[in-house]
Amino acid sequence: MTSLTCFKAYDIRGRLGVDLDEGIARRIGAGFAVALGAQRVVLGRDVRASSESLAAAVAEGLTSQGVAVLDLGLSGTEEMYFATSHLGADGGICVTASHNPIDYNGMKMVKAGSAPLDPATDLARVRELAEANTFDAALQPGKIVPSEGVRSAYVDCVLSFIDVDALRPLKLLVNAGNGAAGPTFDALLAELRSRGAALEVVRMHHEPDGRFPNGIPNPLLEENQPVTATAVRSNGADIGIAWDGDFDRCFLFDGAGRFIPGEYVVGLLAEAFLAREPGAKIVHDPRIVWNTQEIVTRLGGQPVQSRTGHAFVKQVMRETGAVYGGEMSAHHYFRDFMACDSGMIPWLLVLDLMSRRGAKLADLVDARRAAFPSSGEINFRVADMPASIARVETALAPKSVARDDTDGLSLSFDRWRFNLRGSNTEPLLRLNVETRGDATLLAEKIGDLRTLLDADD
C-alpha cells in the first residue's frame, strides 16, 4: 500500500510529480466514488497547466466505478459547490491549487448538498481506498456529460443576494490574476447590465492563463497588493476587486487604492445581512473578533464563534442556521449559498451597500478601522511551537481578563486582545492582535509578543 502525501487536513494538495500526478488523481477519483457510493459527481478545474490532465484522470477514476461525471470545465470552486446542489449530484470535485506555487495542484471536494467531507470519516475513507488501489471495474462504466446551463443558473443565484435595481453607477477595477475568475465575472456583468446596472469596468490580468505571467494570484500577500491599488487610483475607480486563482476569495480596495483587511469586510457583510434579517446569527473566526462582535450585538444579531477553517465554519453555519459567516482570510460563507464560501457574492453585497448609503467604501470602513485597529496576521517560524505558545501563556495569561481556547490561545485584556495559533497547513505560528481604538497600544503589544516569540531564534 502506497502512502499518499497529498491528503491534507481538509483537502488534497501537493507538488506535481512528487505528491500528485495523473495516476494518483485517477485513484482519488475512484476512491471518492466508492467512499460516497456516488452515481453522479460534478467535476470542475482551475486554469493551471496541469489541471486539465489531472481532471481527466479524476474523471477516469470516477467513470471506472460507474459514475456519471457532470463536467463543468474551467470554473471556480464555488461553481462546483453550486452545481453539486443545483444538479442534485452525490458529490463534487474541483481540481485546483488556488494560490499555491506554480508546481502545486490539488482538489477541493464536497458530498451531496455541497457539504464538506468529514476529515475523520469521509476524507479518511477516500484516502484509504486510494492508497489501497484495489478497485474492481464497474459492470457499466460511467460517462462524462457536459453540464449545460449551470453558469446561467449560478449567475441567477448569486445576483439574488442583491437588489440590482438599487445599484448606482459605479466604476470597478477588477483583477482576476489570470485565474479562473474572468469568464465568470463577465457572465455576472453581462446579466447585471441586461438588468440595467450602470457599472463601468476596467479589467486587468483578466484572461485565464495557467502560466500566471503576472504571478500567482494571491492578493492577501502584501507584496501583491500594489499592482491593484495603483490601477484603482490611476483609473479613478470607486472600488478595486481582486481574486485568488479559484476565486473562492475576493479582496477589496477602496477608491484611494487602500487594501481593506478581511475582518472589516466581515463586519460590513454582517451589517448588510442584519438589516435584512434582524436577530440573525453571524459566524466569525476567533482571530480578530471585537469589530464583528460589536456590530452584530449592537444591531441585535447573535455572534457565533467557530474554529478557523472552512470545514469548521461550514459545520457551524449548518448547525446554527446562521445567515452569514466570515473569516478574516477573506472566506465568506452564505446560508443561502449552501453554507459555502463565495468570492463573487461579497463584492456584489458591498456594491449594494455603497449604493444604498450613497457612500464610498472608505466611508463604510474607516471609522471601524479606527475603532478597532488590528495587526493583520503575522507569521512566525519557530523551532518549538508548543514551547513558544507556552512561553506567551506563562507571561500573559495571569494578567488577562478572559481566555478562549477555541482555536489556539486567545487572551483578552481591558483594551487589547490577541490570538495565537499554529497553522493547519504550514510549520508556522500565526499571531493576530487588536485593540480598542488605540493604534499606539497595538504597535506596543505587537512588539512585546514579537519579543516573546522571537526568543526561539
Confidence band for 10, pLDDT divided at 50, 70 and 90 = confident
CA distance 258 to 225: 9
pLDDT one-digit tens code per residue, 84-139: 999 999 999 999 999 899 999 999 999 999 999 999 999 999 999 999 999 999 99
DSSP class of 427: S
- Whole-angstrom CA distances from 264 to 206, 243, 411 are 26, 17, 21
Beta-strand (E) ranges in 328-441? 332-334, 340-341, 378-380, 402-404, 409-412, 416-422, 429-435
Active site residues: 98
User: In which order are the strands placed within the sheet that holds 104-111?
Assistant: 12-15, 104-111, 91-95, 40-45, 68-74, 144-146
The alpha carbons of the chain give a radius of gyration, in whole angstroms, of 22
CA distance 274 to 278: 5
CA-based torsion, 330, 336, 337, 338: positive or negative: positive
pLDDT one-digit tens code per residue, 403-415: 999 999 999 999 9
Q: Would the pLDDT of 82 be above 80?
A: yes
Contact 47, 134 (CB under 8 A): no
The whole-number pLDDT of residue 425 equals 63
Q: Would the pLDDT of 335 be above 60?
A: yes
Proportion of the chain above pLDDT 90, given as a percent? 95
Average pLDDT value for residue range 311-316? 94
Cell digits for 410? 486567545
Cα separation of the two ends of the chain:
40
The whole-number pLDDT of residue 457 equals 41
Give ∠ CA 332-334-340 in degrees, rounded to 5. 75
pLDDT one-digit tens code per residue, 221-254: 999 999 999 999 999 999 999 999 999 999 999 9
pLDDT one-digit tens code per residue, 143-157: 999 988 999 999 999
Residue-range domains of the chain with CATH: 12-148 (3.40.120.10), 378-456 (3.30.310.50)
DSSP string, 289-301: -HHHHHHHHHTT-
Confidence band for 427, pLDDT divided at 50, 70 and 90 = confident
Identity of residue 433: V
Average pLDDT value for residue range 351-375? 97
The whole-number pLDDT of residue 202 equals 98
Q: Would the pLDDT of 177 be above 50?
A: yes
The whole-number pLDDT of residue 32 equals 98
User: In which order are the strands placed within the sheet that holds 199-204?
Assistant: 199-204, 170-175, 239-243, 250-253
pTM: 0.96
Give ∠ CA 204-235-365 in degrees, rounded to 5. 95
Cell digits for 199? 457599472
